[in-house]
């Protein structure tokens, strides 16, 4: 994999890199297929590796499991915006915060289908529908089931994020043809109460269990840059990686600060730390799609390229992620062309 191209030194002796030893050590530490559990300390140790070593390990794992030049593309549509009763400190859709987001009714079926068609035309293979609910009531769920059926009929994969699910609701989503359900853990258990108080960590885990019990793919990740420590970033990844079956899709979001929310004014995270988080996610969850999710609008092309090199292989296309700005599809197409990335 590594070859020394260093020319002979001036004294006639060749400068030799012992690549066999290097590869043996890296392969030993990269063999995540045999690791059943990741401790927080183990993941912190990944974060603390020299940057080039961490990137090499992440890229090695990535190439063992995926085409390194392919990225899965999804589009996320807010089908019900604002008015949420939760108190997530990062979210402008919470009714209790004074932001520019207004409480809007559920979108009409025809409008959702039209948006899905446009997403498919722009190259998306998965269409995600998000609703700002604590959890759907049955009267809310029924029109969403119809949306899932119609989007599925277009030949797109379907994903929904509707909040906490009650008994029997995952079964209905499965019957409608839902492929993925998104329900993020957001952060480590010990930091969770600093961000959210209206639902517990266990509430989130129980919803994921209901989804998994119906053989719906799980999409679950978190938000980085909310004031958490590196140990807590590692703690989030440990929670995800140590699930009996890790999520098939792991969105890693960079906090987008919105005026009027409690987390507005939080010290911004260094983007290289975000890249490290992507790399650690790739190493600890080798067969999951790791999504470079919210926050790309604030990243340079170079930072995004490092994230792809670190193992990110999924993004959201479209100018909005629910209510958050996102690079436009044309901008992403140009970046993909520069990097030689193919869409999945």
Report the distance separating Cα 186 and Cα 332, nearest Å: 26
DSSP secondary structure string for all residues of 241-293: HTSSS--SEEEEEEP---TTSTTTTPPPPPHHHHHHHHHHHHHHSTTSEEEE-
Report the DSSP pairing between strands 314-317 and 320-321.
Answer: unpaired
CB 181 within 8 A of CB 157: no
* Count of H-run helices and E-run strands, the chain: 12, 12
Helix, strand, coil percentages (3-state) for the chain, rounded to 5, are 40, 15, 45
Number of other CB atoms surrounding residue 297 within 10 Å: 15
Token duo for residue 48: 């603390």
Q: Which of these, 248, 326, 254, 300, lies nearest to 90 by C-alpha position? A: 254
CB 43 within 8 A of CB 237: yes
Q: Which of these, 288, 298, 343, 285, lies nearest to 324 by C-alpha position? A: 298
Cite the active site residues: 84, 88, 91, 128, 159, 219, 291
Q: How far apart are the first and last CA of the chain?
A: 26
CB 271 within 8 A of CB 230: no
């Amino acid at each position: 994999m590594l070859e020394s191209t260093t020319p002979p030194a001036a004294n006639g002796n060749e400068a030799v890199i012992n690549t066999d030893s290097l590869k043996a050590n890296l392969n030993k530490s990269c063999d995540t297929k045999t690791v059943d559990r990741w401790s927080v300390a183990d993941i912190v140790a990944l974060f603390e590796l020299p940057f080039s070593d961490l990137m090499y390990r992440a890229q090695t794992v990535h190439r063992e499991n995926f085409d390194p030049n392919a990225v899965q593309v999804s589009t996320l549509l807010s089908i019900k915006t604002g008015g949420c009763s939760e108190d997530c400190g990062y979210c402008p859709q919470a009714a209790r915060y004074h932001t520019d987001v207004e409480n809007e009714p559920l979108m009409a079926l025809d409008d959702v289908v039209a948006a899905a068609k446009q997403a498919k035309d722009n190259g998306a293979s998965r269409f995600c529908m998000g609703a700002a609910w604590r959890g759907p009531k049955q009267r809310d769920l029924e029109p969403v089931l119809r949306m899932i059926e119609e989007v599925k009929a277009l030949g797109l994969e379907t994903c929904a994020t509707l909040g906490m699910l009650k008994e029997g609701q995952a079964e209905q989503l499965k019957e409608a043809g839902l492929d993925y359900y998104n329900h993020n853990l957001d952060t480590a258990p010990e930091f969770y109460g600093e961000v959210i108080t209206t639902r517990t960590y266990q509430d989130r885990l129980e919803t994921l269990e209901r989804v998994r019990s119906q053989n719906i793919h799980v999409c679950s990740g978190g938000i980085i840059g909310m004031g958490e420590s590196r140990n807590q970033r590692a703690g989030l990844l440990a929670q995800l990686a140590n699930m009996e079956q890790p999520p098939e899709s792991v969105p890693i979001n960079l906090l987008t600060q919105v005026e009027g929310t409690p987390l507005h004014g939080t010290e911004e995270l260094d983007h290289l730390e975000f890249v490290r988080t992507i790399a650690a996610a790739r190493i600890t969850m080798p067969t999951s799609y790791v999504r470079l999710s919210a926050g790309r609008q604030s990243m340079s092309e170079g930072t995004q390229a490092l994230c792809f090199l670190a193992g990110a292989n999924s993004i959201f296309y479209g100018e909005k992620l629910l209510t958050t700005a996102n690079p436009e599809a044309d901008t992403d197409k140009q970046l993909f062309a520069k990097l030689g990335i193919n869409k999945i």
